[in-house]
Structure 1
Amino acid sequence: MQAILERQKLAQLTDGSPSAAVRIDRLDRAIGLLVDHATEIAEALRDDFGHRSIQGSLITDVAGSIEPLKHAKKHVRRWMRRDPRKVSPAVLALLGARAWVDYQPKGVIGLISPWNFPFNLTFGPLAGILAAGNRAMIKPSEFTPRSSVLMQRMVAEAFDETELTVITGGSDVGEQFSALPFDHLIFTGATSVARHVMRAAADHLVPVTLELGGKSPAIVGRDADFDLAAKRLMFGKTLNAGQVCVAPDYALVPRDRVEAFVDALQRAVAGMFPTLRDNPDYTSIVNERHHARLLGYLDDARTKGATLRVLGRTDEAFDDRRIAPTVVLDANATMDVMREEIFGPLLPFIPYDGVDAAIAHINAHARPLSLYYFGNDRAEQERVLARTVVGGVTINDTILHLTMDELPFGGIGPSGMGAYHGVDGFRTFSHARSVYRQARFDISAMLRPPYGKVVDRLLSFKIRR
């Protein structure tokens, strides 16, 4: 890995900042890989998960990866333009001084991608990485080995190792990878792992972008259309069986409307999944460890007094690590399901008596990656927005803020740092180099000793209220 990194750094220094044409060619090659291998990608993901919706994978990991690459291809020439800035004092401009910002490639970017959307969370960040003119080394998750091997083969088909390469291996390889002296490192995954990644990167002062997770709340307003809100909420909770970093983790529901909203969720699940067993659209939990973890959450909640409400058909047994969407009523802070990020199709309910109580509950916990609000009361919407600090928000739906190419995506605090997508990704993976060009007239003479009356007059003008 160290040798590959050194070759990439040497190639970057030798070739210099790539032209727009080179960047577009690299983006085109990445798009071509996803188009040409779409079926293989969906099949590899299905095999890695035990079962994963083929169409779901084509939506999230193929089409959802192509769009940011196309967006970058369309806009990269504009993003690369020199950004003129004003000089101060303004008289300097009249004398010929100029200032601007150049967006330079940082160099070689390390990219650690997770198992839940291996291709989307590799090729999505690559849109900004390649548009910014960088080279990259990719470390995909060992939890999805078929996808990782396919990704390695795909990238080797279209890119020289000095441009882009994929490193496979287990957690030991991941530890070594995160300690390499990259010019920037982006990690998507669990907050607990991110702490180790950040410590490793600190040894070389490598700047990091961390896309993590946390317990993303969904507030159901009193005036929300319950049936529509339930459909949209369960879309976010059942996509990839809830194995999504921005999935709604728990629902804050008006206390006197809890049963009504459970009924609405039941109708929503029945509409999407008339049956869950052998349903090609419903995904399994990725492995036995995570399957056992989720069942443990349910057992813990039941033992501590929760009422579990299984959504959909209740007469189905599963033998392929599927778990039915399940509402956890009477949830409390002692339960694992409220202490840990769920990453599965379980939805605890927290009843509230007024929106301020819902806001207070959110603010009493770590800042989440996402927040969802359902309701049409604009004043209440604005109150929620003004009084919460979260990574991103979707109003009257779930997850879709993540899909907007023109919106930055990122967390805050324990849910992450830094952001990417669109021009924000381009700038994250670029160095904004400031340049000042002095006028031909020797303006700076007054700043050099010996000082005299001219400097005294200048200081008296500057040092005032």
Structure 2
Amino acid sequence: MNQPFTSLIECPLAAVHQRLRAAWRRDPHPARSQRHDWLERLVQLTERHGQELVEAISADFGHRSAHETRLAELTLIVGAARHAQRHLTQWMKPRRMATALQFLPGRNRLLCQPVGVVGIIAPWNYPHQLAFGPAIAALAAGNRVMLKPSEYTPRYSALLAKLVPAYFSPDEMVVVTGDSAVAQGFSALPFDHLVFTGSTATGRHVALAAARNLTPVTLELGGKSPAIIDSSAALEAAAASLVFGKLVNAGQTCVAPDYLLVPAALRDAMVDALCLAAARMYPALADNPDYSAIVNGQHLERLQGLLADAEAQGARLLPLGCADRAERERAAAAGKLAPMLVLDTAPSMRIMQEEIFGPLLPVLTYSGDVGEAIAYINGGERPLALYWYGSDARNRERVLRETVSGGVTINDCLWHLCQESQPFGGAGASGMGAYHGVWGFRAFSQQKPVFHQSRLSGVRLLHPPYGRVFDGMLRLLKLIG
């Protein structure tokens, strides 16, 4: 490694970008061993400094469950990097592609080459996972990386800006910290690919900035991800899964279920099951190390505003698990928001129009006909995630075929996000593009088609001067198809 870069924040963004671009030009196709080493350094950074990372993230949140950080941030990142290391040789190998009969004995192959410099704008809710997740794919593909962590996690961002130069040279990966103005300047740089994870509204601005440079983007956004309880569902198991998926990181998860669709006849039983599951998992809130705080006062105030607006419009608020008012007030004083079910909602409520991003779960009812649930989902924007619970295979397949979402987990919650053998991405307003595993490798590679012509080729018979030979060749091409 070269000497650490000591003035990341002071350098103008354009100068940092130009240095990375120059490094890529000097070595535009790093060897497998180099890429493997980059990934190993990323693993070592995460493992050696795991406790520091946990503490920094917790301090940024006011309190963040150490177990959840280790699970969702550290373990997931190490697993993704190890997966990429194991498969690098296969991913980098040129692929033989089929050749149409009329072009034989020529042959096709597909080469994957690094695109150059990949920019990553990471969010605050899972700052390590969503910074290093795209970085794994970019480094595996042989690119240089320029990373902008969120200003809402200043302690983690400062730690990352200190650690990365100890493991990567300024020609390999650079961290740039700063506020929203820095993020705006960052998104305007002429990257070869730009990854943004965050809100749909901000994603639109990022896409517009990137479009000025014709920079391709991967946008991981959010939206209102539904969970459907089928009439055939096992309610207790579904409730335990939903409480976990909704309350991990206090609901500050892009793929958390945003609302629940339940057959009207099962609503009360489902509500009871949810409350029991929450009471088991979170018997207390204020002093419970397993229950995370809301990241800052602004976000907490927004969530409280969603509840106040819903209640003012006739919704019924039901504490999820913790029914003791004093405990809920103690939790609020600690920056934690008590989980809440929202019943009897109306479309005009803000909680039914905005992505919630907190421990609040509206419960809606439908007749039990899965077509009604599908119609409701399809009446809104395409969600990042969808969850279905039940044993009726016909209803399950209808939901899979007739809805469009970024990803789906059946009879559980969140876990499609962790599959390195599957792409992760959004659809429509919930995002564009995908990464994870080979999908990320290909997203940050130029997949270059190469045709090798044979000395025995007959295509010269299509050269001018045109005449009967040319006409005969055209007829032959039509017959071959």
Where has structure 1 moved over 3 Å in runs of 4 or more? 461-465
Task: Look up the match of 1:122.
Answer: 131
Structure 2 contact 315–342 (Cα < 8 Å) conserved: yes
Structure 1 contact 276–324 (Cα < 8 Å) conserved: yes
SS of 2:37 mapped into structure 1: helix
- Describe the superposition over 1:142-176 as per-residue Cα deviations: whole angstroms up to 9, x where unpaired: 00000101111111110001100100000000000
Task: Look up the match of 2:307.
Answer: 298
Once residues 182 and 102 of structure 1 are traced to their aligned partners in structure 2, the CA distance between those partners, rounded to angstroms, is: 21
Code of the residue aligned with 2:460 in structure 1: it is A
Shift of 1:442: 5.1
Task: Look up the match of 1:164.
Answer: 173
Once residues 204 and 36 of structure 2 are traced to their aligned partners in structure 1, the CA distance between those partners, rounded to angstroms, is: 35
Once residues 48 and 287 of structure 1 are traced to their aligned partners in structure 2, the CA distance between those partners, rounded to angstroms, is: 8
Q: Can you give the 5+ residue segments of structure 1 that lack an aligned partner in the other structure?
A: none
Task: Look up the match of 2:54.
Answer: 42
| 1:136 is aligned to 2:145 | yes
Q: Can you give the 5+ residue segments of structure 2 that lack an aligned partner in the other structure?
A: 1-12
Task: Look up the match of 2:291.
Answer: 282
Kindly report which structure 2 residues correspond to 1:392-411, keeping only aligned pairs within 5 A, or say none. Answer: 392-411=407-426
Identity in percent: 49
Once residues 245 and 284 of structure 1 are traced to their aligned partners in structure 2, the CA distance between those partners, rounded to angstroms, is: 16
Q: 1:68 aligns with which of 80, 86, 90?
A: 80
Once residues 312 and 442 of structure 1 are traced to their aligned partners in structure 2, the CA distance between those partners, rounded to angstroms, is: 74
Q: 1:433 aligns with which of 439, 448, 462?
A: 448
Q: 1:325 aligns with which of 339, 355, 372?
A: 339
Task: Look up the match of 1:234.
Answer: 243
Structure 1 contact 219–253 (Cα < 8 Å) conserved: yes
| 1:248 is aligned to 2:257 | yes
TM-score, normalised with respect to structure 2: 0.95
Structure 1 contact 69–123 (Cα < 8 Å) conserved: no
Q: 1:182 aligns with which of 173, 177, 191?
A: 191
Task: Look up the match of 2:3.
Answer: none
Task: Look up the match of 2:7.
Answer: none
Structure 2 contact 104–457 (Cα < 8 Å) conserved: no
Structure 2 contact 125–252 (Cα < 8 Å) conserved: yes
Structure 2 contact 103–457 (Cα < 8 Å) conserved: no
SS of 2:422 mapped into structure 1: coil
Shift of 1:312: 1.7
Shift of 1:443: 2.7
Task: Look up the match of 1:53.
Answer: 65
Shift of 1:140: 0.5
SS of 1:116 mapped into structure 2: coil
- Describe the superposition over 1:298-349 as per-residue Cα deviations: whole angstroms up to 9, x where unpaired: 0000000000000122221220221111000001110000000000000001
Task: Look up the match of 2:437.
Answer: 422
Once residues 309 and 16 of structure 1 are traced to their aligned partners in structure 2, the CA distance between those partners, rounded to angstroms, is: 58
Stretch of structure 1 that moved more, 341-350 or 309-318: 309-318
Task: Look up the match of 2:182.
Answer: 173
Once residues 436 and 70 of structure 2 are traced to their aligned partners in structure 1, the CA distance between those partners, rounded to angstroms, is: 20
Once residues 363 and 275 of structure 2 are traced to their aligned partners in structure 1, the CA distance between those partners, rounded to angstroms, is: 14
How many residue pairs end up in the alignment?
A: 462
Code of the residue aligned with 1:327 in structure 2: it is L
SS of 2:178 mapped into structure 1: coil
Shift of 1:444: 2.7
Task: Look up the match of 2:121.
Answer: 112
Once residues 215 and 141 of structure 1 are traced to their aligned partners in structure 2, the CA distance between those partners, rounded to angstroms, is: 23
Task: Look up the match of 1:218.
Answer: 227
Structure 2 contact 218–434 (Cα < 8 Å) conserved: yes
Structure 1 contact 69–127 (Cα < 8 Å) conserved: yes
Once residues 28 and 103 of structure 2 are traced to their aligned partners in structure 1, the CA distance between those partners, rounded to angstroms, is: 35
Task: Look up the match of 1:153.
Answer: 162
Kindly report which structure 2 residues correspond to 1:362-401, keeping only aligned pairs within 5 A, or say none. Answer: 362-401=377-416
Kindly report which structure 2 residues correspond to 1:20-35, keeping only aligned pairs within 5 A, or say none. Answer: 20-35=32-47
Once residues 407 and 163 of structure 1 are traced to their aligned partners in structure 2, the CA distance between those partners, rounded to angstroms, is: 27
Code of the residue aligned with 2:348 in structure 1: it is T
Code of the residue aligned with 1:81 in structure 2: it is K
Structure 2 contact 462–473 (Cα < 8 Å) conserved: no
Shift of 1:460: 2.3
Shift of 1:389: 0.7
| 1:98 is aligned to 2:107 | yes
Structure 2 contact 242–412 (Cα < 8 Å) conserved: yes
Once residues 269 and 324 of structure 1 are traced to their aligned partners in structure 2, the CA distance between those partners, rounded to angstroms, is: 11
| 1:455 is aligned to 2:470 | yes
SS of 1:365 mapped into structure 2: coil
Kindly report which structure 2 residues correspond to 1:194-205, keeping only aligned pairs within 5 A, or say none. Answer: 194-205=203-214
| 1:3 is aligned to 2:3 | no
Structure 2 contact 122–130 (Cα < 8 Å) conserved: yes
| 1:341 is aligned to 2:355 | yes
Once residues 63 and 92 of structure 1 are traced to their aligned partners in structure 2, the CA distance between those partners, rounded to angstroms, is: 49
Task: Look up the match of 2:281.
Answer: 272
SS of 1:72 mapped into structure 2: helix
- Describe the superposition over 1:367-412 as per-residue Cα deviations: whole angstroms up to 9, x where unpaired: 0000000101111100110110111000000100000110100001
- Describe the superposition over 1:205-239 as per-residue Cα deviations: whole angstroms up to 9, x where unpaired: 00000000000000011111111100000111001
SS of 1:45 mapped into structure 2: helix
Stretch of structure 1 that moved more, 122-131 or 159-168: 122-131
Once residues 85 and 65 of structure 1 are traced to their aligned partners in structure 2, the CA distance between those partners, rounded to angstroms, is: 32
Once residues 346 and 361 of structure 2 are traced to their aligned partners in structure 1, the CA distance between those partners, rounded to angstroms, is: 13
Once residues 100 and 391 of structure 1 are traced to their aligned partners in structure 2, the CA distance between those partners, rounded to angstroms, is: 30
Once residues 374 and 385 of structure 2 are traced to their aligned partners in structure 1, the CA distance between those partners, rounded to angstroms, is: 14
